[in-house]
Structures are given as C-alpha cells and as structure tokens.
A and B are shown apart, each in its own frame.
Chain A
Amino acid sequence: MALNPEFEGRVYPPSSSYVVGREKVREFASGIGDLNPVFHDVEAARALGYLDVVAPPTFAVIISMRASGAVVRDPELGLDYSRVVHGEQRFEYARPIVAGDELVVTTTIESIRTAAGNDMIMTRGDIATVDGEHVVTTRALLVSRGPEGE
C-alpha cells in the first residue's frame, strides 16, 4: 500500500506537555537494567550539576513516540501499522532530560519513500521545554514491510 506523499513535510502542533517524573526516570533506568546513580540518586545527579535525576539517553523515545503515534496511525497517511518495524533511531541532544522537566513535542514528517516494496517514513520530534528551550531532537525511521519484501 502506497503512502500518501502529501504528508511529507507536515508539521504537527506541539503535543500536550509531558512532565518528567523522578520515579518514572528511575523506573525507566531500571527497565534497561541501568543502576548508574545519576539516573537514580538525586545527590549523585546534583554532584554533576543537575537539578534532579537524569533520564537515560533513550528516555526521549517515550515522549516522541507518544506524540508521533497518532500521526503515523492517521488512516489518511496509509501506513499499515501492523507491518511496521523500527528501522533507525537517532537522538541529538542539547542537554539530558532531567526529572522535573515539562516538555512538549513538535512532530514533523521529514520524508516518505518507497524502496524494494517497503514504505518508509522518517518522523522527527523536536522536544523542548514549555518555555521553549530545545532539549533533544529525535528521528525514527519506520518501515512497513511490503508483501514482496518478505
């Protein structure tokens, strides 16, 4: 199924804000098996100059995926989500996410293409504080495997 090329370049208004909780950061760090004190212990984080526990680098995906989920499931886009695999993931950091941050995401559909029968869509999430400070930009390549691609 071909993707609707008109979606390329679309920018979606900022999501409702995501407040980064200290316990969520700890839960996520434990979920990846990472016991580094900077992700768990406020004093250890403060010793490095942070206000509160620091989120592991891939934590940003929780926030970007929440925002992009509705976009990529828009029936008008034509992405068969049941066949989607995660092809690539990138993060560019201005600084780490820290507990207490209140963040919003602006989602952009950067590119849409088809190669070897697979539909590919690159989404970008610009994550910033509610005050407008850029924190991290995420990019995810979603690949919908075509029947002939198997």
Chain B
Amino acid sequence: MGSLIARSDVAVGTELPTQSFTVTRGDLVRYAGASGDFNVIHWNERVAISVGLPNVIAHGMLTMALGGRVVTDWIGDPGALVSYSVRFTRPVVVPDDDAGATVEVSGKVSAMHDDGTATVTLTARFEGSTVLGKAQAVVRLS
C-alpha cells in the first residue's frame, strides 16, 4: 500500500489540483447523521444566532474532510496519508438557500523529507478568507 505519486514527480511548490465544494444546509444534515455530530449550531438558525454566530455554520470536521479529499484524490491510496492536522480559525456560514456556501481548497507541497514523505500545506477559502489554519498533511510518496 503506497502512494500513486512518485517522489521524482514532486518538489517543494508542486501544486495539488484545486477543488471547489458546495455546502448546503442539506449537506450539513447529511453530515450530522453520518458523523453523529448533532450540535444544534449546525442546523438550527435560531440557536446559532443566539450563541453569537452569524448563522448556521458547517461542522469544522466537514471542512477538514473536504481538505482531506484534496489530499486523498491526489495520492490515490488513503494509506499513503501519514498525518493530517488543522486549526479551525473561521466558521463556514451556510445560508438557508439552494446555493449554499462555497469552500475552495488548494494544496501545495511545502517540504520534502528524507524518509520519502512530503508535507502538503492546504488552504481552504470561504468568501475570500481562510477557514483553516496550519492545515498540513504528511504523505508517503512511492
């Protein structure tokens, strides 16, 4: 089990294909059910606003999953993922409409390591601001 990406094809600065994701209220309901995270702020506007949020917000773990997808789509084999970490810096606010919120995730190789792994730094943007901080994945190259 290993990456489908060869070490010889990667260098610091190599970019992963950028992906754009749409997140609607329906997607939040689906994620809540699939993950078991039924925190009310992810589906109830009244409660979200009452605790000081602008509106219903996406699960941070859903945003992290979208970032993970950019990495696993690139490396091909999920078993090539060594570690993955993020900070949740800003919420993704999801409006009650059919368009939803748009999260764009890009990634770039930021370090190559002697043990055949590489660090990928991810950038997730929503409405022009980054929503994840220090989003990094270490992947094993073949």
* A residues whose Cβ falls under 8 Å from a Cβ of B: 27-28, 30-34, 36, 38-39, 48-50, 54, 56-58, 61-62, 65-66, 82, 85-93, 95-96, 139, 150
Contacts and interface: CB of A to CB of B under 8 A. Distances in A.
A45 B131 CA distance: 32
A49 B35 contact: no
B33 interface: yes
Interface string B68-86: 1101110001110111111
Contacts of A30: 30, 34
A88 B52 contact: no
Contacts of A88: 85-88
Given A86-B61, A86-B88, A88-B87, 7 more contacts: A31-B31, A33-B27, A39-B78, A54-B79, A57-B65, A89-B85, A91-B84
B85 A95 contact: no
B36 interface: yes
A30 B33 CA distance: 11
B64 A36 contact: no
B30 A90 contact: no
A58 B61 contact: yes
23 contacts: A27-B34, A30-B34, A31-B34, A32-B65, A32-B66, A33-B21, A36-B69, A48-B77, A49-B79, A50-B1, A56-B72, A57-B72, A58-B68, A61-B61, A66-B36, A89-B60, A89-B85, A90-B85, A91-B84, A91-B85, A92-B83, A93-B82, A93-B83
B73 A57 contact: no
Contacts of B51: 82
Contacts of A66: 36
B34 A90 contact: no
Contact of B1 (A34, A48, A82): A48
Nearest to B89: A87
Contacts of A33: 21, 27, 66, 69
A62 B31 CA distance: 11
Contacts of A54: 78-79
Interface in B32-66: 33-37, 51-52, 60-62, 64-66
